[in-house]
């Protein structure tokens, strides 16, 4: 490809991205302001989850765990939905089921009109807490590798990698190795790799979980800017109440295990969100509501682990007796 062709491709990519940005803005405005009663919800469903339950191990066995129970949810196209809930309530399990990495014991997930039966690399990309970059490849090579696995033509990989690195502010570090980056920069690189795949859906499992609070805040602000420019549907697992309120269009609060959705909270605030949203009365009100919903569930989760530890201790003392 010569320079003029590459330039043309870049321009059409930017055009498409801008067009998608405009489309989502229109949809968001339609959703938030539309209709005579101001409540004209016209949302398209990106992911449809129906009656999903899952358990690990054999029933009656010592390792039997009911992780998820009869969970149903419609995820709207273009929204960022946060999943929040006590540790072990099945958030990652649900994310893995949505992404086709795991088959549910019961229930279905549909993306568009297609039932999820395995990974769908054209539709769904992942970002995990552990960024899983290849340490022997540079940042840009890592991004290109993701596209290679997805089957993107070689000629397109370079320009798409550069655009996604620019989107996360890492273009100047394209030739660095992961070990030469900070933790926050590594997560940006992982995000760039996921963005370069141009999937409509991005599943993020505690992507900023291992980072310090200040870095998380900055990455959160960047993600909100990104959201305002694209129509990606993002499902984002977090333990941070503040992060959930700052980023989410809606927050799904999970009960203790077996997890199911206890309540969904709307955060009616346009993207990109400004840092002063964090100090607003609205932010505090929603955060407090989340806290009160979660508090009882976290207590239950803690007492569940105490009970299972006691059972395990009883079993091992029985085994130890002659």
Ligand X SMILES: Nc1ncnc2c1ncn2[C@@H]1O[C@H](COP(=O)(O)OP(=O)(O)OP(=O)(O)O)[C@@H](O)[C@H]1O
Question: Which residues in this chain contact Mg ion in the complex, by CB under 5 A?
Answer: 92
Give the C-alpha separation, 292 to 268, whole Å: 19
Length of the chain: 322
Q: Which of 78, 88, 146, 220 binds ligand X (CB under 6 A)?
A: 88
**H/E element holding 195?**
helix 183-196
DSSP E strand stretches across 122-279: 124-127, 201-205, 233-237, 250-254, 261-266
**Interface with ligand X, residue 87, by CB under 6 A:** yes
Q: Which is nearer to Mg ion, 92 or 238 (CB)?
A: 92
3-state DSSP assignment of residue 27: helix
CB 265 within 8 A of CB 251: yes
Q: Which of 31, 76, 77, 91 binds ligand X (CB under 6 A)?
A: 91
Give the C-alpha separation, 104 to 257, whole Å: 16
Q: Which is nearer to Mg ion, 204 or 293 (CB)?
A: 204
Q: Which is nearer to Mg ion, 107 or 209 (CB)?
A: 209
- Residues numbered 282-321 forming contacts with ligand X, rule: CB under 6 A: none
Q: Which of 78, 90, 200, 207 binds ligand X (CB under 6 A)?
A: 90
Interacting partner of 56 out of ligand X, Mg ion, none (Cβ under 5 to 8 A depending on kind):
ligand X
**Using alpha carbons only, how large is the chain's radius of gyration in Å?**
21
**Smallest distance, Å, CB 67 to ligand X?**
4
Question: Percent helix, strand and coil across the chain, each rounded to 5?
Answer: 45, 20, 35
Interacting partner of 67 out of ligand X, Mg ion, none (Cβ under 5 to 8 A depending on kind):
ligand X
Q: Which is nearer to Mg ion, 55 or 92 (CB)?
A: 92
**Interface with ligand X, residue 142, by CB under 6 A:** no
**Smallest distance, Å, CB 102 to Mg ion?**
13
Max CA distance (Å), the chain: 81
Interacting partner of 194 out of Mg ion, ligand X, none (Cβ under 5 to 8 A depending on kind):
none
- Residues numbered 223-262 forming contacts with ligand X, rule: CB under 6 A: 257
Q: Which residue has the tokens 């995820």?
A: 75
User: Using CB under 6 A as the criterion, which residues of the chain lie in contact with ligand X when the complex forms?
Assistant: 56, 65, 67, 85, 87-93, 257
């Amino acid at each position: 490809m010569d320079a003029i062709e590459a330039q043309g491709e870049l321009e059409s990519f930017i055009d498409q991205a801008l067009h998608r940005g405009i489309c989502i803005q229109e949809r968001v405005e339609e959703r938030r302001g539309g209709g005579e009663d101001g409540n004209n919800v016209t949302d398209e469903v990106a992911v449809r989850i129906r009656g999903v339950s899952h358990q690990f191990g054999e029933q009656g066995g010592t390792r039997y765990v009911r992780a998820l129970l009869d969970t149903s949810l419609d995820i709207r196209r273009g929204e960022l939905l946060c999943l929040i809930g006590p540790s072990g309530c099945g958030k990652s399990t649900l994310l893995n089921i949505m992404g086709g990495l795991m088959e549910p014991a019961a229930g279905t997930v549909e993306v568009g009109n297609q039932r999820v039966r395995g990974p769908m690399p054209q539709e769904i990309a992942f970002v995990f807490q552990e960024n899983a970059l290849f340490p022997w490849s540079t940042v840009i090579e890592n991004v290109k590798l993701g596209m290679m696995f997805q089957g993107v033509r070689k000629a397109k990989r370079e320009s798409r990698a550069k655009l996604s690195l620019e989107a996360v502010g890492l273009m100047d570090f394209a030739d660095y190795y992961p070990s030469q980056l900070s933790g926050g920069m590594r997560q940006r690189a992982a995000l760039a790799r996921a963005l370069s795949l141009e999937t409509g859906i991005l599943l993020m499992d505690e992507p900023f979980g291992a980072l310090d609070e200040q870095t998380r805040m900055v990455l959160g602000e960047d993600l909100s800017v990104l959201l305002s420019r694209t129509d990606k549907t993002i499902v984002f697992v977090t333990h941070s109440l503040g992060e959930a309120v700052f980023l989410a269009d809606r927050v799904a609060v999970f009960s203790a295990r077996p997890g199911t959705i206890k309540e969904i909270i709307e955060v009616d605030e346009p993207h990109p969100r400004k840092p002063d949203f964090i100090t607003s009365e609205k932010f505090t009100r929603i955060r407090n509501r989340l806290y009160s919903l979660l508090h009882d569930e976290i207590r239950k989760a803690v007492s569940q682990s105490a009970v299972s530890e006691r059972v395990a201790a009883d079993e091992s003392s029985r085994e130890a007796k002659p």
